[in-house]
Amino acid sequence: PTRRLTGFQATGRLHLGNLLGAMRPLIAAQDAAPSIALIADLHAMTVEHNPTEVRASALELATVLLAAGVDPRRTPIVLQSQMREHTELHYLLECVTGFGEAARMIQFKEKSAAGGQVRLSLLTYPILMAADILLYDVTQVPVGEDQNQHLELTRTLADRFNTRYGETFTVPEGVKPEAAARIMDLADPTTKMSKTTGAGRIGLLDPPEVVRRTVARAVTDEFATVRRDPERQPGVTNLIDILAACAGRPPADTDSYGALKSEVTDAIEALLTPIRARHAELSDDPGYVREVLARSADRVRPTAEATVRRARQAIGLLD
């Protein structure tokens, strides 16, 4: 049977790209393909971080996932740091990873080239990610292109461990998120919308006037024609794609960018209004959100414990 894991880093604030590219596919498949939603707070510490913000962001992420429609009875929402098995398996997997293999990861090279102190955990991040995935015996991992290399490493490590020490892990496949939407930054439509960088981000909890303003300021072009052309018209193409993803339809027959933007604003609003409302309710009840996290951890713990037990035995540790 298909089992999936979708991860979210506990950094920054969730945006429209996260909703359309990751959360909606997860919610839509809640019956067909049982998923675990993982809130990766340990990963948030691989770069300079603020402890208060990481804590707040973890709880906020759980709250937004619930507000957007993740049903915790079907989809456990697991906080990585509340399950010790992640770090335990991380170490065991480090013992089948080459230093060069980790150092070759593009994301490590990019982030470490940015200068400043480089944390060792930034280098080993993909191995922790491998542990996140292998721990739960999942068969599929929806990943964006930015995570393809890390998923390949996960598969390599699982295969290698299985070959050297005996069948221990399910080797997962990467799947392209169904929505296929890769939402670009509205201020710079050649880079993807991101929690941590970019000025043209639509936050899932942004108030309506902020959404309207961000869309109104979206970068377009001088062609004055509403047409999907990612090469020449990346900004307009992004707006068309957002409309398609939010409302499931093409834009009205117009070549006015103003009209296109107002359609896009309305479509985003229709999607975000109920999420904001539900989020406000849930924010009044943080005890409930914490209870969801605790119950979710209880639900997935047997699988995680069993995986770690198999790995410990296989690699040569006493019971």
Query: Interface with ligand ATP by CB under 6 A: which residues?
Result: 6, 8-9, 11-12, 17-18, 20-22, 144, 181-183, 192-196
The one catalytic residue among 109, 176, 195, 261: 195
Contact between 75 and 36 (Cβ < 8 Å): yes
Nearer to ligand ATP by Cβ, of 16 and 134: the residue is 16
Six-digit token pair at 68?
């957007």
Given CA atoms 46, 50, 51, 55 in this order, what sign does their dihedral have? negative
**Identity at 98, one-letter amino acid code:** G
Per-position DSSP letters for 194-249, written without gaps between them: -SSS-S---BTT--HHHHHHHHHT----SS-----BTTTBHHHHHHHHHHHHHHSS
Kindly state the smallest distance separating residue 224's Cβ from ligand ATP, in Å: 26
CB of 29 to ligand ATP, least distance (A): 13
Residue nearest to ligand ATP (CB): 21
CB of 71 to ligand ATP, least distance (A): 19
Write down the least CB distance from residue 314 to ligand ATP, Å. Answer: 30
- Told to judge if 176 belongs to the known catalytic residues of this protein, a careful annotator would answer no
C-beta of 146: minimal distance to ligand ATP in Å? 7
Residue 109 annotated among the catalytic residues of the structure: no
Q: DSSP label at 57?
A: H
Q: Which two tokens stand for residue 225?
A: 């024609």
Q: Give the helix/strand (H/E) hosting 316.
A: none
Q: Across the chain, where does the E strand assignment appear?
A: 4-9, 35-40, 77-79, 140-142, 173-175
Burial 276-309 (b: 16+ CB within 10 A, else e): eebbeebeeeeeebeebbeebbeebeebbeebbe
- 261 classed as catalytic: no
Cβ distance 197 to 19 under 8 Å?
Answer: no
Please, what is the minimum distance in Å from the beta carbon of residue 316 to ligand ATP? 35
Distance separating alpha carbons of residues 93 and 97, to the nearest angstrom: 7
Choose between 34 and 198: whose C-beta lies nearer to ligand ATP: 198
Rounded CA-CA distance 49/44 in Å is: 7
Query: CA 318 from chain center: how many Å?
Result: 36
- Between residues 174 and 311, which has the closer beta carbon with respect to ligand ATP? 174
Catalytic residues: 111, 192, 195
